[in-house]
Amino acid sequence: MNKNSEKISGWKRFMKSMTKAHDLGTEEDIMLDHDYDGIKELDNVLPPWWLAGFYITIAISIFYIIMAVGFNKYNQDDELNDEMTAAKEEIEAYKAANPQLFDDANIVAYTDAENLAKGKELFTTKTCVVCHIADLGGSIGPNLTDNRWILGGDVKSIFNTLTNGGRPGKGMIAWESTITREERILLASYIISMQGTKPAAPKEAQGDIIWPAE
């Protein structure tokens, strides 16, 4: 017998021990005596590989019950509470890191190039350009580059104008429902960054508020 055939017979023996399959040709030995219209049944044993899996699930279930009931592990209420606590901490951390998003008193203008670029983009996409012109020189709406303001030129006042609109009937609507809070801050920041630039055809100064002060 060469090595190869030894291996095969070893494998076969292993498979036999795992399945306890009845030898072919000797089915008569385990044939049950009932007969349903010619259909017969063999009394095969449950394969050991399958039984082993079955016993393992029973063992795990006992372990699980002891841990869950006896030691109060895997308690779903506790797991929920842990996750809720962790989520609350995450929310607090997010609020602490983004204070301007949660309280008007904390609004600060962005000054970094990336956020100012976003504000500029919004100024076009949110149709501000129609009334204020792309270089902010003004047409229906006032010039936003000079230091004369109808409603105030600091970041909180501009944010407030965007949120609640201008004076009634003047054409500057409240954008609160159509532009998100973050976007309104980005827009206000962009407008502030354009302070003192020279538009091609600036509209005459409007408003009594001077900001920044001369």
Do 153 and 142 meet the contact criterion of CB atoms below 8 Å apart? no
* Amino acid of residue 1: M
Does residue 167 interact with ligand HEC by CB under 6 A? Answer: yes
* Closer by beta carbon to ligand HEC, 19 or else 150: 150
* Piece in contact with ligand HEC (CB under 6 A), picked from 65-73, 77-85, 95-103, 125-133: 125-133
Cα distance between residue 165 and residue 199, in whole Å: 24
* Amino acid of residue 97: A
Does residue 185 interact with ligand HEC by CB under 6 A? Answer: no
Q: What b/e sequence results for 103-135 when a residue is b if at least 16 CB atoms lie within 10 Å of its CB, and e otherwise? A: eeeebebbeeeebbebbbebbeebebeeebbeb
Does residue 159 interact with ligand HEC by CB under 6 A? Answer: no
**Which of 175, 189, 192, 203 forms a contact with ligand HEC (CB under 6 A)?**
175
* Closer by beta carbon to ligand HEC, 61 or else 124: 124
Does residue 107 interact with ligand HEC by CB under 6 A? Answer: no
Return the structure tokens found at 117: 């670029």
Does residue 126 interact with ligand HEC by CB under 6 A? Answer: yes
**Which of 9, 127, 164, 180 forms a contact with ligand HEC (CB under 6 A)?**
127
* Closer by beta carbon to ligand HEC, 22 or else 194: 194
**Which of 107, 116, 187, 192 forms a contact with ligand HEC (CB under 6 A)?**
187
Do 145 and 133 meet the contact criterion of CB atoms below 8 Å apart? no
* Piece in contact with ligand HEC (CB under 6 A), picked from 33-41, 43-51, 91-99, 136-144: 136-144
Cα distance between residue 44 and residue 33, in whole Å: 14
**Which of 163, 166, 181, 202 forms a contact with ligand HEC (CB under 6 A)?**
166
Cα distance between residue 151 and residue 144, in whole Å: 11
**Which of 107, 109, 128, 185 forms a contact with ligand HEC (CB under 6 A)?**
128
Does residue 140 interact with ligand HEC by CB under 6 A? Answer: yes
Q: What share of the chain is helix, strand, coil (3-state, %, to 5)?
A: 55, 5, 40
Separation of first and last alpha carbons in the chain? 106
Q: Which residues bind ligand HEC (CB under 6 A)?
A: 126-128, 130-132, 140-142, 144, 149-152, 158, 161-162, 166-167, 170-172, 175, 179, 187, 191, 207
